[in-house]
Chain A
Amino acid sequence: MVDWTDAERSAIVGLWGKISVDEIGPQALARVLIVYPWTQRYFGSFGDVSTPAAIMGNPKVAAHGKVVCGALDKAVKNMGNILATYKSLSETHANKLFVDPDNFRVLADVLTIVIAAKFGAAFTPEIQATWQKFIKVVVAAMGSRYF
C-alpha cells in the first residue's frame, strides 16, 4: 500500500487545514467546466452553464463543488487506507453515475492549480509534490472499482 512519511502526513494535514472547502470546491468545479467544457455532459440538470460567467455564478455548480471537494476530507483523515475509504464512492461513479474516470485526474489537476493560485509561493515545489502524491492516490482509489 501507500507509504507516508511523518513529513508528508503533516504537510497534507497542514495544507488541508488551511483550505476552506466552501471556497475552493466551487472554484475547482467551475474551472473544470470552463477549462474542459465537455465535462458539462454530466451536469445537464444544473441549468445555465453556457458561459464562464454563468458557470461561476451558478448555485448548483457551487453546491456540487462543495460536495465533491468535501469528500476529500475522508482521504485526509484516512491517509493510511484511502483505497478502502473510496470503494463505495468509486462504485457509485462507475455503475450509477457513469463518470469517465479520467475526470478524476482532471479535477485533481485543476484543484492543484486553484490551490496554487490561493497560496502562491507558499505552495512550494515540495508541498506540491506531496499534495500531488496524495491526490494521485485518491484518483486511483476513485478509479479502482471500474471494470
Chain B
Amino acid sequence: MLTKHEKELIAKIWDKMIPVASDIGAECLLRMMTTFPGTKTYFAHLDIRPGSPHLRSHGKKIVLAIAECSKDISSMMVTLAPLQTLHAYKLRIDPCNFKLLCHCILVTLAAHMGDEFNPVAHAAMDKYLSAFAAVLAEKYR
C-alpha cells in the first residue's frame, strides 16, 4: 500500500536515474550476479563482465521499465502487461530471483544516494519494487 507522498517520492527518485540508466542498471545486475552467482545462469548468452556493453544495455532496459512504471504506479498492471507475457512465456526466470535483483537495486540506490536514501525512501522503494516483482510474475501460472 503506497501513499500519495510515497508514489511521488518513488517517481522523483527514478526520474533522476533515467539519464544514468545504463550505469545504474549495469551496477544492479553486476551486484546481483556477484552476490548471487545462481542468477548468472540466465545470462549465459551475454557478456556479463564488468563494464560490458551487454550488461549496460540490459541494465538500461530494466531501469527504464522500472522508471516508466513509477510515473503512474496505479496503472502498473496495464503498463507491465507486455513484460508479464515476456517473463512468463519466453524468459521464464524463476520469480524467486526477482527479490534478489530488488535487493541489489536497493543497495545500488543506497550507494548512489547516501543519506538521501533515508528510511522513508527505503520503505517506499522496497514496497514499490516488491509490487513490481509480484505483478511481473502474475502470468506465470
A residues with CB within 8 A of B: 30-31, 34-35, 52, 55-56, 109, 112-114, 116-121, 123, 125-126, 128-129, 132
Most interface-central of A116, A128, A132 (chain B CB within 10 A):
A116
A57 to chain B, nearest CB (A): 12
* A128 adjacent to B110 (CB under 8 Å): no
Bitwise interface map of B from 101 to 131 toward A, beta carbon under 8 Å scored 1, else 0: 0010011101111110101101100100000
Q: CA separation between A112 and B104, bound complex, in Å? A: 10
Binds A, one of B28-36, B60-68, B77-85: B28-36
A125-B27, A126-B34, A129-B34 as given contacts; A117 in contact with B123, CB under 8 Å: no
Chain B residue nearest in CB terms to A112: B107
* B103 adjacent to A120 (CB under 8 Å): no
- CB-defined contacts of A132 to chain B, threshold 8 Å: 35
11 contacts between A and B (CB under 8 A): A30-B119, A112-B103, A116-B111, A117-B114, A117-B115, A121-B111, A125-B35, A125-B50, A128-B34, A129-B31, A132-B35
- CB-defined contacts of B123 to chain A, threshold 8 Å: 34-35, 52
* A113 adjacent to B106 (CB under 8 Å): yes
Chain A residue nearest in CB terms to B127: A35
List residues 1-40 of chain B with CB under 8 A from any CB of chain A: 27, 30-31, 34-35
- CB-defined contacts of A113 to chain B, threshold 8 Å: 106-107, 110, 117, 122
Q: CA separation between A126 and B123, bound complex, in Å? A: 26
Given contacts A125-B31, A128-B34, A128-B35, 19 further A-B contacts (CB under 8 A): A31-B119, A31-B122, A34-B122, A34-B123, A35-B119, A35-B122, A35-B123, A52-B120, A52-B123, A55-B119, A109-B103, A112-B103, A113-B122, A116-B108, A117-B110, A117-B111, A128-B107, A129-B35, A132-B35
- CB-defined contacts of A34 to chain B, threshold 8 Å: 119-120, 122-123
